[in-house]
């Protein structure tokens, strides 16, 4: 009995007490953490991080393309982010004749920079607690409207924190004129590709260079040849002094999604149902796309961004399941909940209510995820939605069709349709009468999909005919699955736990936790709003007897170099620099060898959306660009463990080395003041 009690106490203590490097903190409230940050080596003050009265580091951080982060590094709006964050834009600019994915691209002056249609960045003006305003009856829409009227190009959102216990207004400047300045070849920017994704040691130069443009008044404006480079209120100074184990690090960015406070019911769903299902379905799609890409350079370019988007989450979910199982997260949650029940018997109903809500919504949310991974992945249905969208002008419709078909291959989509329609029919219990009838009429899902793609006239832009769209079998199929889409639309939320019927119970539950567990450091879940996370450079024990150092170098790239494997076939310029040890200012003595630092790891709490985030040292200087986590760290969206969780960072010295020795764009280095 005593031994069991001791095990329980130790389990609780090591899991849910405040962990030094755990947390994604609102910058406006960072003063509450600044003493802890300084105790770990930080040299600046809270006002240096976030201020509305003077320029601060927040003014140099941007939300990039709605789901990543970037950092401004010059007085002329020069912007660094990840290669994979800019991948869609680079792919859209690439053709077989101008293959910027394969060969890279480097502008040698402003006139050569390439406008990225549709790419936007947002710079935070300020954040404001509006909990009391909403409680007093003011609507979110009214708050947003007032905020957006304050300035040119202002965009605002009101975001809930702690499942609605608090609400914050975020006001941004939205810049629509963003141009590609430089990007390394994919075999640097995506070195190792899916094989190395989420893996440490890592040797990926995951960066690209963009520039923000503004009008003559330095305000956001639509693209114009007359626009000028944006003059930021603040930009990051760059340090090339390097890092060592134990050094302070801080991440400043827009993490997208964590679930710190979910119950054991939700953990069980993620680990046993959601992730395994999605992994299996994406494996099928990736196998089809991979084989097609290997057969054709054109298809490789067409499906490069699609493949990367599918593969990223696919591998993340695998690591998440492994990490959850390794840490015993489900059992820890159960133990924590049982303690809460014992010590708060009057609040135990909250856990019962949450369990009941999960059970009520299980079928709906499961089918939302199943639909998203199967039927929504059938590309040709998008043509139907474009054709039937009466809000589009004819010119807009034509432009949308051209964009779609540019990156479309009918045979690839046919194979995916066969696989995904078959998977949905096997796993789903929700069908429309129309879909059921079509499956029966044509001899099952596989035969029906083959018939569809053999008989459609929508296979290409050339064969597309406005007059025949309504009678096309793809349109019939799209309309047949529309009731399913409408059904799952009611479950389209960030996570299972954010469904209103479930979330309404999390609001009082999380409030009760905050009142009860006084030793726990509570921070709001990530929701793509600006956050600060801090930690230190640190290696980790991967397995018994296997310690992973926190720094990788050019030696590792050359060791992996293989001209016969696309993802490891490094540019000749990199081989030449290594052969001659032509490292310029970027060479260092590391582990007894003269080389170039490439990547390092730290204990910062990160997630998706932190891609491209600036990693700064104790003085607030830029030392790297965050781009990934280690594989078993992906469960940090649910449980963060400082002994295991590491974020992966591209060393700023490698960024400069590639710009210099591979890109030959020294003018950019000069602009950054290095």
DSSP SS3 for 623:
strand
Q: What are phi and psi of 174, to 5 degrees?
A: -100, 120
Q: What is the mean pLDDT of residues 356-378?
A: 98
Residues 6+ apart with CB under 8 A from 149: none
How many residues does the structure list for the chain? 674
Establish whether 235 is a catalytic residue: no
Contact 612, 208 (CB under 8 A): no
CB atoms within 10 A of CB 118: 11
Give the per-residue pLDDT at 544.
Answer: 84
Q: Which residues pair with 534 in a beta bridge?
A: 250
| 3-state DSSP of 336-369 | HHHHHHHHCHHHHHHHHHHHHHHHHHHHHHHHHH
Give the per-residue pLDDT at 20.
Answer: 52
Q: What is the mean pLDDT of residues 528-540?
A: 97
Contact 319, 198 (CB under 8 A): yes
Residue 103 has pLDDT above 50, yes or no: yes
Dist CA 494 CA 522 (whole Å)? 20
Percentage of residues in the chain with pLDDT exceeding 70? Answer: 97
Dist CA 547 CA 545 (whole Å)? 6
CB atoms within 10 A of CB 345: 9
Residue 431 CB burial class (10 angstroms; 0-12, 13-18, ≥19):
middle
Q: What are phi and psi of 606, to 5 degrees?
A: -130, 170
Residue 169 has pLDDT above 90, yes or no: yes
Contact 424, 416 (CB under 8 A): no
- Write out pLDDT tens, residues 268-304: 999 999 999 999 999 999 999 999 999 999 999 899 8
Residue 6 has pLDDT above 80, yes or no: no
CA–CA distances in Å: residue 673 to residues 69, 338, 557, 618, 657 = 22, 57, 28, 20, 15
State the catalytic residue, choosing from 274, 422, 611, 613: 611
CB atoms within 10 A of CB 646: 29
- Write out pLDDT tens, residues 36-78: 999 999 999 999 999 999 999 999 999 999 999 999 999 999 9
Structure tokens at 12: 């609780």
Residue 16 has pLDDT above 70, yes or no: no
Dist CA 246 CA 249 (whole Å)? 9
Give the per-residue pLDDT at 631.
Answer: 87
Establish whether 206 is a catalytic residue: yes
Residue 193 has pLDDT above 90, yes or no: no
Dist CA 336 CA 15 (whole Å)? 9
Establish whether 84 is a catalytic residue: yes
State the catalytic residue, choosing from 21, 206, 525, 637: 206
Residues 6+ apart with CB under 8 A from 185: 101, 102, 103, 104, 571, 662
Give the per-residue pLDDT at 195.
Answer: 83
Residue 7 has pLDDT above 80, yes or no: no
Give the per-residue pLDDT at 599.
Answer: 98
Higher pLDDT, 43 or 9: 43
Higher pLDDT, 2 or 463: 463
Residue 186 has pLDDT above 80, yes or no: yes
DSSP SS3 for 112:
helix
Contact 319, 633 (CB under 8 A): yes
Residue 96 has pLDDT above 60, yes or no: yes
Q: What is the mean pLDDT of residues 388-412?
A: 94
Dist CA 204 CA 207 (whole Å)? 9
- Write out pLDDT tens, residues 448-486: 999 999 999 999 999 998 889 999 999 999 999 999 999
Give the per-residue pLDDT at 479.
Answer: 97
Structure tokens at 82: 């990840």
- Write out pLDDT tens, residues 18-36: 445 799 999 999 999 999 9
- Write out pLDDT tens, residues 114-143: 999 999 999 999 999 999 999 999 999 999
Residue 3 has pLDDT above 70, yes or no: no
DSSP state of 241: S
Higher pLDDT, 217 or 546: 217
Residues 6+ apart with CB under 8 A from 449: 414, 417, 418, 421, 422
State the catalytic residue, choosing from 28, 56, 83, 84: 84
Mean pLDDT of the chain: 94
Per-residue pLDDT band at 374 (split at 50, 70, 90)? very high
């Amino acid at each position: 009995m005593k031994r069991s009690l001791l095990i329980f106490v130790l389990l609780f203590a090591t899991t849910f007490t405040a962990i030094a490097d755990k947390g994604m903190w609102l910058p406006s409230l960072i003063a509450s953490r600044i003493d802890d940050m300084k105790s770990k080596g930080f040299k600046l003050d809270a006002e240096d991080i976030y201020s509305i009265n003077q320029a601060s580091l927040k003014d140099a951080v941007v939300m990039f393309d709605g789901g990543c982060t970037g950092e401004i590094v010059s007085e002329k709006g020069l912007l660094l982010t990840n290669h994979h964050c800019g991948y869609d834009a680079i792919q859209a600019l690439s053709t077989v004749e101008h293959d910027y994915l394969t060969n890279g691209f480097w502008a040698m002056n402003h006139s050569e920079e390439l406008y990225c249609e549709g790419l936007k960045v947002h710079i935070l003006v300020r954040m404001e607690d509006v909990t009391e305003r909403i409680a007093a009856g003011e609507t979110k829409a009214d708050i947003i409207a007032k905020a957006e009227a304050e300035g040119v190009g202002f965009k605002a959102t009101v975001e809930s924190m702690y499942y609605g216990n608090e609400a914050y207004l975020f006001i941004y400047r939205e810049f629509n004129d963003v141009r590609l300045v430089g990007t390394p070849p994919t075999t640097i920017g995506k070195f190792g590709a899916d094989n190395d994704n989420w893996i440490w040691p890592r040797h990926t130069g995951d960066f690209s260079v963009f520039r923000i443009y503004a009008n003559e008044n330095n305000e956001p404006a639509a693209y114009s040849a007359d626009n000028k480079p944006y003059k930021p209120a603040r930009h990051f100074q760059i340090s090339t002094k390097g890092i060592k184990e134990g050094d302070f690090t801080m991440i400043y960015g827009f993490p997208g999604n964590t679930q710190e406070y979910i119950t054991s019911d939700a953990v069980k769903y993620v680990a046993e149902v959601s992730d395994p299902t999605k992994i299996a379905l994406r494996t099928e799609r990736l196998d089809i796309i991979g084989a097609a890409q290997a057969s054709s350079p054109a298809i490789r370019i067409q499906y490069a961004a699609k493949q990367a988007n599918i593969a990223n989450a696919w591998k993340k979910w695998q690591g998440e399941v492994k990490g959850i199982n390794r840490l015993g997260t489900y059992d820890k949650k159960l133990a924590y909940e049982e303690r809460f029940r014992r010590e708060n018997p009057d609040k135990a109903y909250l856990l019962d209510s949450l369990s009941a809500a999960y059970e009520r919504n299980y079928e709906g949310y499961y089918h939302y995820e199943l639909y998203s991974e199967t039927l929504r992945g059938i590309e040709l249905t998008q043509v139907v939605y474009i054709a039937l969208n009466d809000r589009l002008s004819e010119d807009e419709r034509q432009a949308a069709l051209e964009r779609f078909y540019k990156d479309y291959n009918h045979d690839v989509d046919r194979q995916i349709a066969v696989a995904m329609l078959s998977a949905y029919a096997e796993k789903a219990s929700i069908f429309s009468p129309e879909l059921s009838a079509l499956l029966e009429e044509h001899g099952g899902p596989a035969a029906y999909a083959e018939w569809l793609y053999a008989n459609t006239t929508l296979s290409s832009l050339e064969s597309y005919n406005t007059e025949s769209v309504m009678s096309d079998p793809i349109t019939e199929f799209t309309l047949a699955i529309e009731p399913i889409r409408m059904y799952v639309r009611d479950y389209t939320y960030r996570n299972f736990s954010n469904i209103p019927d479930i979330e309404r119970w999390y609001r009082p539950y999380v409030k009760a936790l905050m009142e009860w567990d006084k030793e726990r450091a509570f921070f709001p879940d990530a929701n793509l709003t600006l956050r600060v996370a801090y930690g230190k450079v640190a290696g980790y024990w991967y397995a018994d007897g296997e310690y992973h150092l926190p720094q990788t170098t050019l030696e590792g790239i050359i060791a992996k170099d293989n001209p016969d494997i696309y993802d490891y076939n490094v540019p000749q310029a990199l081989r030449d620099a290594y052969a001659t040890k032509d490292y310029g200012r970027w060479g260092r003595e590391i582990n007894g060898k003269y080389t170039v630092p490439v990547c390092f790891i730290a204990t910062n709490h990160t997630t998706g959306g932190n891609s491209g985030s600036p990693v700064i040292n104790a003085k607030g200087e830029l030392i790297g660009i965050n781009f990934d986590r280690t594989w078993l760290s992906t469960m940090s969206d649910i449980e963060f463990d400082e002994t295991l969780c590491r974020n992966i960072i591209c060393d700023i010295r490698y960024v400069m080395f590639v710009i210099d020795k591979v890109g030959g764009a020294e003018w950019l280095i000069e602009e950054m003041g290095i």
